[in-house]
């Protein structure tokens, strides 16, 4: 028999080798799963950079003009430049650069480094080096807190170094950083009243300390026999050395004047502008980073073991707490995946058993584990990590994996039941089903593949989902054409003929098809009406970009009313911590004062260091309280904080799955400051009045007052006082200066000089020494000190000063709806916005940008699928008929999202796009058999009835298994994946139910009876069709 000389014959006849390689594949798949990199979330390269420059002592206007403006102009040359935002404060410039989504980020950052090197020479020499942070998405894999009652920051830092040195040696760890260290320093606080008595200035005192704390190698003495080194000790070794240092000699008595005579000298903290606490106690935190492409579960086990050894060596009073430990989260995600996988497999197998019988179902079910282990092998080879998105892709593909095997099994079983010998039945069944199965697999791959090219962070975040699905369905096709026919040959027998017409659903379908074929135009009109209703319903759905992160963590940003006193921020944090302790759901909290915590989540925005800012990370256990989700608890805490906080405010924030930011943002800029002020006030007032908004705020900064030293330059010059004398000595008096270093036991501690100036009067009585004439003159004799209005913060967008009004959205409300309402209200307000630029940012813009990208890829996917079908059916019309299943699926999508109260989110739209391939495959199988029936001489109507009758079971079974496989994901409680799975399940189910009626009706309406071969019939199909009938 010629048929037996083909590839299929050799695969089946050598079944022992096929089974051997199948077992080998299983073993390789299990090994690949063990070593494949596992982590919590996908790696993304955020197209943002934060550029920070410090210009010590400069006013905001000077920093903006001399630093911020220069950097903004220079970075416009970065390839892919999109926008920039800047914040300028006293001594500080922060510029945030954003790139277009389609740019090569690595190349852009390399160019940025070169541009900033050039910009360094264009800003004042007093500025510190420009720092650019381009790794904003880099997140610590673990954050370990060291704290304890009675421990100083210095003691905690010593323990932290021990942890760092031990943990950093573990294989798989990239590095550990220590945060929150409060360095000890020797502080010299000069009494200005005493200093004025002597002919020495603060600047000279700093220089004298540098000169006295010096050690220069002296050399050696030698003769012909021996050489002896000579040393002359000159370094400070204790505070008493500083206290007894002679700085001058009394002109009256000749007695030496020592440093302790005019200054208080003590050990102190070098800079307390940034502090960490854990559960209210002083803390130091270690942030650990994993190496790329490593299984962090295995690395995490090694870290945990080393942590246990370290804890055993430490005092029991020292508290070592895991603030963040990503291996635990990943382990939980993987365990949840296998739970969903096993549940899905069980449900799929039950459906297959009910629909196909024991032996057939057993053969079909082998496709699921085999396809999954092949997917693990491919993921390992292609470097795809196992994380929440790729796991979701595996679960999504679960119900699809058995579909190809079902179609192959059904075709083979039909031939066996017709009396063909097993080998012949397998070969004929394979040839008959191969083309439609391959075409259906290609359509699914084509439906998912454009998502590989969605630009930006959203596309990068979701990329592993289409990768995983495409690999899995390709694996299922490979299993279906190799392993399935072998198992069918070994185990299938002739089945007893069953009358499927007796099943209620089958009878309903027969009756529905009969009515549809009788009233074809009415059936099509009814379908169009339902599609139109679904389109209207889609407009009523709540639109959402990405949901909040499904984590047992949220954070609170603190804003003190006192911008220059970190102790005021500490008092504000203590109030918040007191409220947190009253809520039983709170299990721990970590606090940062003067800045943000170490980055503990991938989308956590970077905080700008400031004395009036603080951040608290809160870990919760909802099972201990009455709240159903994090949103409800966060809203409750926000209400408590708003009612009780004194001296500042706090924002309770949930972690974002997508780009961080407020869901409502309106930016206003213009040349007239008064018009900008009035416009901002109107927008804020209208936004606050819209139901569903909360925490509406703006960054409009009113003028503040600061002291200005107005020096009479002519008088100062006459007295021999230079500008350098005045500015340098005032700078040391108010900001201090690092004079030298203590070097003790291998450690270095700075020696800081500052004054006791606390008020305007103190500053006026500061005596300025002339570097030219050597005499001293009180500052108030050189000019006057007065208050002057100034802007403490300058906010700019794309180089133009702008004000942003922002707001949050209460649960159950849509940011898109609120923004549309705001636009209507502003239009009706009568306010003259001419001269102002008003731009809407926030969630609505993110939706527009990213949904548009996904829509573009969907159109490309449709075109690709159409080309595949056109080649298969050699027809322009038949692929168009198949495409009717797509709008039919929209009916189910809209109904499902409404029924389950799910939003039309970005992931739901991903489900809609991927649904195209699934619903089209059912129509492919149906039209393939209509064409084959026509080849046997049937009329179009007869062929339609025959095809529905023949393909009813595999189509229904394939659809139901896909839907059932998604049940665990739909009911997992994940805000990220529930909308996607609901859209897929409802869309596929409804589309399948309609496909078996509408597609044959439309085919019979549009395709005319012709002579000869039907356009879509394949040669193989023609040869085998007679036997099938």
Torsion of CA 598, 604, 610, 612, to 10 degrees: -110
Those residues whose C-beta lies under 8 Å from the C-beta of residue 989, and which sit 6 or more positions away, are 892, 959, 960, 963
Residues of the chain with pLDDT under 70: 1-5, 215-234, 271, 355, 399, 495-505, 658-659, 702-705, 745-746, 850-854, 1009-1029
Confirm if 268 and 150 have CB atoms less than 8 A apart: no
pLDDT digits (tens, 9 = 90+) for 483-519: 989 998 888 877 665 544 556 667 777 788 888 888 8
Q: How far apart are CA 49 and CA 136, in angstroms?
A: 7
If asked whether residues 875 and 970 sit together in one domain, one would say yes
If asked whether residues 414 and 506 sit together in one domain, one would say yes
**Residue 289 within a domain:** no
If asked whether residues 603 and 586 sit together in one domain, one would say yes
Q: How far apart are CA 277 and CA 182, in angstroms?
A: 12
Domain boundary among 115, 133, 151: 133
Q: How far apart are CA 782 and CA 779, in angstroms?
A: 5
Nearest CA-CA partner of 408 in 500, 476, 490, 353 = 476
DSSP classification of residue 609: P
Confirm if 541 and 894 have CB atoms less than 8 A apart: yes
Tokens encoding 731 = 């700078």
Q: How far apart are CA 261 and CA 35, in angstroms?
A: 68
**Residue 783 within a domain:** no
Q: Domain count of the chain?
A: 3
Nearest CA-CA partner of 466 in 11, 737, 858, 111 = 858
DSSP classification of residue 450: G
β pairing state of 800-809 and 794-797: antiparallel
Instruction: Name 516's bridge partners.
Output: none
Work out the end-to-end distance of the chain between its first and last CA atoms, rounded to an integer number of angstroms: 22
Element (H, E) at 327: helix 326-356
Tokens encoding 574 = 């203590």
Query: What is the separation of C-alpha 481 from the centre of its chain, rounded to a whole number of angstroms?
Result: 40
Residue showing tokens 């009004």: 805
DSSP classification of residue 496: P
Domain boundary among 80, 99, 133: 133
**Residue 506 within a domain:** yes
Those residues whose C-beta lies under 8 Å from the C-beta of residue 358, and which sit 6 or more positions away, are none
Q: How far apart are CA 55 and CA 538, in angstroms?
A: 53
Residue showing tokens 């190698």: 217
If asked whether residues 398 and 510 sit together in one domain, one would say yes
Nearest CA-CA partner of 640 in 719, 702, 577, 722 = 577
Confirm if 741 and 242 have CB atoms less than 8 A apart: no
Q: How far apart are CA 829 and CA 826, in angstroms?
A: 5
Angle in degrees, 0-180, between the axes of helices 566-581 and 630-644, rounded to the nearest 10: 130
Element (H, E) at 847: helix 842-873
**Residue 110 within a domain:** yes
**Residue 14 within a domain:** yes
DSSP classification of residue 604: P
DSSP output for 565-598:
-HHHHHHHHHHHHHHHHT-TTEEEEEEEESSPPS
* pLDDT at site 216: 59
Quickly count: other Cβ atoms within 10 Å of residue 508's Cβ. Answer: 11
- Structural domain for 586, as ranges: 548-656
Q: How far apart are CA 783 and CA 760, in angstroms?
A: 13
Instruction: Name 74's bridge partners.
Output: none
CATH number at residue 892: 1.20.1640.10
If asked whether residues 611 and 576 sit together in one domain, one would say yes
Query: What percent of the chain is helix, strand and coil (3-state, nearest 5)?
Result: 55, 20, 25
DSSP output for 541-571:
SPB-S--B---SEEEEEEEES-TT-HHHHHH
* pLDDT at site 331: 85
CATH number at residue 124: 3.30.70.1430
Confirm if 244 and 259 have CB atoms less than 8 A apart: yes
Confirm if 276 and 285 have CB atoms less than 8 A apart: yes
* pLDDT at site 589: 94
* pLDDT at site 370: 92
* pLDDT at site 540: 83
If asked whether residues 540 and 556 sit together in one domain, one would say no
pLDDT digits (tens, 9 = 90+) for 183-221: 888 889 999 998 888 888 998 898 888 888 876 565 655
* pLDDT at site 497: 56
Residue 700: phi and psi, rounded to 5, are -65, 125
* pLDDT at site 226: 62
Q: How far apart are CA 976 and CA 333, in angstroms?
A: 14
> In the chain, what percentage of residues exceed pLDDT 70?
93
Q: How far apart are CA 917 and CA 687, in angstroms?
A: 42
Q: How far apart are CA 41 and CA 19, in angstroms?
A: 36
Confirm if 814 and 842 have CB atoms less than 8 A apart: no
Nearest CA-CA partner of 367 in 396, 408, 401 = 401
* pLDDT at site 288: 92
State the Rg of the chain over Cα: 37
Output the CA torsion sign for 991, 987, 842, 96: negative
Q: How far apart are CA 710 and CA 712, in angstroms?
A: 7
Number of H helices, E strands in the chain: 35, 30
Tokens encoding 798 = 């794309």
If asked whether residues 932 and 1013 sit together in one domain, one would say yes
DSSP output for 147-216:
E-TT--HHHHHHHHHHHHHHHTTSTTEEEEEEE----EEEEEEE-HHHHTTSS--HHHHHHHHHHHS---
Domain boundary among 656, 683, 715: 656
Torsion of CA 120, 126, 129, 134, to 10 degrees: -80
**Residue 876 within a domain:** yes
Output the CA torsion sign for 433, 435, 436, 442: positive
If asked whether residues 558 and 522 sit together in one domain, one would say no
**Residue 927 within a domain:** yes
If asked whether residues 556 and 535 sit together in one domain, one would say no
Q: How far apart are CA 233 and CA 849, in angstroms?
A: 68
Tokens encoding 494 = 């002739």
Quickly count: other Cβ atoms within 10 Å of residue 315's Cβ. Answer: 8
Quickly count: other Cβ atoms within 10 Å of residue 844's Cβ. Answer: 22
Residue 1011: phi and psi, rounded to 5, are -95, 150
If asked whether residues 526 and 556 sit together in one domain, one would say no
Nearest CA-CA partner of 960 in 399, 369, 358 = 399
If asked whether residues 377 and 523 sit together in one domain, one would say yes
Q: How far apart are CA 393 and CA 400, in angstroms?
A: 11
Q: How far apart are CA 5 and CA 870, in angstroms?
A: 30
In terms of residues, how long is the chain? 1029
Q: How far apart are CA 259 and CA 190, in angstroms?
A: 9
Residue showing tokens 């548009």: 852
**Residue 945 within a domain:** yes
If asked whether residues 404 and 538 sit together in one domain, one would say yes
């Amino acid at each position: 028999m010629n048929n037996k000389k083909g590839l299929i014959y050799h695969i089946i006849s050598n079944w022992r080798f096929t089974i051997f390689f199948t077992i080998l594949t299983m073993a390789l798949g299990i090994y690949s799963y063990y070593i494949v990199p596992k982590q919590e979330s996908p790696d993304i390269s955020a197209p943002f950079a934060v550029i920070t420059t410090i210009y010590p002592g400069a006013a905001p206007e000077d920093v903006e003009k001399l630093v911020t403006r220069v950097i903004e102009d220079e970075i416009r040359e970065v390839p892919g430049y999109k926008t920039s935002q800047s914040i300028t404060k006293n001594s500080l410039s922060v510029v945030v650069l954003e790139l277009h989504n389609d740019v090569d980020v690595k190349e852009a950052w390399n160019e940025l480094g070169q541009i900033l090197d050039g910009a360094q020479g264009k800003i004042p020499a007093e500025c510190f080096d420009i720092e650019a942070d381009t790794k904003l998405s880099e997140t610590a894999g673990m954050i370990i807190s060291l704290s304890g009652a009675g421990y100083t920051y210095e003691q905690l830092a010593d323990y932290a170094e021990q942890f760092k040195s031990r943990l950093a040696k573990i294989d798989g760890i990239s590095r550990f950083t220590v945060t929150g260290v409060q360095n000890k320093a020797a502080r010299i606080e000069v009494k200005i009243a005493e200093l004025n008595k002597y002919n020495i200035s603060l600047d000279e005192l700093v220089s004298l300390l540098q000169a006295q704390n010096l050690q220069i190698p002296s050399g050696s003495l030698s003769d012909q026999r021996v050489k002896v080194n000579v040393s002359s000790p000159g370094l400070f070794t204790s505070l008493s050395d500083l206290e007894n240092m002679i700085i001058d000699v009394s002109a009256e008595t000749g007695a030496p004047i020592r440093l302790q005579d005019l200054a208080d000298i003590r050990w102190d903290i070098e800079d307390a502008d940034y502090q960490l606490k854990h559960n209210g106690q002083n803390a130091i935190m270690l942030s650990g980073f994993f190496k790329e492409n490593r299984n962090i579960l295995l690395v995490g086990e090694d870290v945990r073991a080393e942590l246990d050894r370290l804890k055993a060596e430490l005092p029991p009073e020292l508290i070592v707490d895991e603030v963040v430990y990503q291996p635990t989260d990943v382990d939980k995600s993987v365990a949840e995946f296998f739970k969903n996988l096993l549940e899905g497999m069980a449900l799929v197998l039950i459906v297959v058993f009910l629909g196909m019988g024991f032996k057939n179902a057993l053969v079909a079910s082998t496709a699921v584990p085999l396809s999954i282990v092949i997917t693990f092998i491919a993921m390992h080879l292609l470097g795809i990590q196992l994380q929440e998105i790729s796991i979701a892709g595996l679960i999504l593909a679960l119900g699809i994996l058995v579909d190809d095997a079902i179609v192959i099994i059904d075709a083979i079983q039909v031939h066996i039941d017709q009396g063909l010998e097993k080998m012949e039945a397998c070969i004929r069944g394979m040839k008959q089903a191969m083309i439609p199965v391959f075409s259906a697999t290609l359509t699914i791959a084509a439906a998912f593949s454009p998502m590989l090219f969605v630009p930006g962070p959203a596309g990068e975040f979701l990329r592993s989902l289409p990768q995983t699905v495409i690999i899995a369905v390709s694996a299922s096709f490979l299993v279906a054409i190799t392993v399935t026919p072998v198992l069918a040959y070994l185990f299938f027998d002739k089945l007893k003929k069953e009358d499927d017409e007796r099943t209620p659903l089958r009878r309903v379908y027969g009756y529905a098809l009969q009515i549809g074929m009788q009233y074809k135009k009415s059936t099509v009109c009814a379908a169009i009406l339902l599609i139109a209703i679904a389109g209207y319903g889609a407009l009523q759905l709540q639109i959402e970009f990405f949901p909040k992160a499904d984590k047992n963590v949220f954070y609170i940003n603190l804003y003190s009313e006192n911008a220059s006193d970190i102790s005021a921020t500490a008092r504000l944090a203590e109030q918040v911590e007191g409220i947190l302790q009253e809520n039983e759901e709170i299990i721990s909290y970590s606090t940062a004062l003067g800045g943000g915590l170490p980055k503990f989540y991938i989308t956590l925005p970077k905080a700008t260091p400031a004395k009036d800012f603080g951040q608290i990370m809160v870990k919760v256990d909802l099972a201990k309280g009455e709240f159903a989700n994090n949103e409800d608890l966060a809203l409750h805490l926000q209400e408590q904080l708003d009612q009780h906080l004194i001296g500042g405010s706090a924002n309770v924030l949930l972690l974002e799955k997508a780009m961080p930011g407020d869901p409502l943002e309106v930016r206003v800029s213009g040349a007239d400051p008064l018009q900008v002020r009035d416009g901002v006030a109107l927008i804020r007032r209208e936004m606050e009045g819209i139901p569903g908004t909360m925490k509406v705020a703006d960054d409009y900064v009113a003028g503040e007052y600061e002291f200005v030293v107005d020096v009479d330059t002519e008088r100062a010059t006459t007295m021999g006082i230079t500008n350098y004398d005045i500015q340098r000595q005032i700078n040391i008096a108010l900001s201090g200066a690092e004079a030298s270093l203590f070097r003790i036991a291998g450690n270095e501690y700075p020696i800081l000089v500052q004054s006791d100036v606390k008020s305007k009067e103190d500053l006026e009585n500061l005596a300025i020494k002339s570097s030219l004439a050597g005499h001293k003159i009180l500052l108030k004799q050189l000019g006057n000190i007065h208050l002057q209005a100034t802007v403490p913060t300058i906010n700019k967008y794309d180089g133009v000063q702008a004000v942003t009004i922002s707001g949050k959205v209460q649960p159950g409300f849509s940011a898109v709806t609120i923004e549309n309402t705001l636009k209507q209200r502003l239009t009706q307000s009568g306010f003259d916005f001419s001269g102002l630029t008003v731009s809407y940012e926030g969630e609505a813009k993110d939706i527009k940008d990213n949904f548009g990208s996904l829509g573009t890829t969907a159109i490309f996917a449709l075109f690709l699928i159409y080309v595949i079908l056109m080649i298969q059916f050699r027809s322009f019309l038949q692929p168009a008929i198949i495409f009717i299943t797509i709008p039919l699926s929209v009916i189910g999508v809209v109904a499902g999202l409404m029924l389950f109260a799910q939003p039309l989110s970005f992931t739901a739209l991903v489900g809609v796009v991927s649904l195209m391939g699934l619903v089209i495959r059912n129509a492919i199988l149906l039209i393939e058999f209509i064409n084959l029936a026509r080849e046997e001489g049937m009329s179009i109507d007869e062929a339609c009835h025959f095809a529905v009758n023949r393909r009813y079971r595999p189509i229904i079974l394939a659809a139901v298994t896909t839907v059932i496989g998604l049940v665990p994901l739909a009911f997992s409680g994940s805000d990220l994946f529930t909308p996607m799975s609901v859209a897929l399940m409802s869309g596929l189910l409804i589309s399948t139910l309609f496909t078996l009626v509408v597609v044959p009706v439309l085919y019979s309406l549009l395709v005319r009876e012709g002579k000869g071969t039907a356009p879509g019939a394949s040669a193989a199909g023609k040869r085998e069709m007679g036997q099938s009938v």
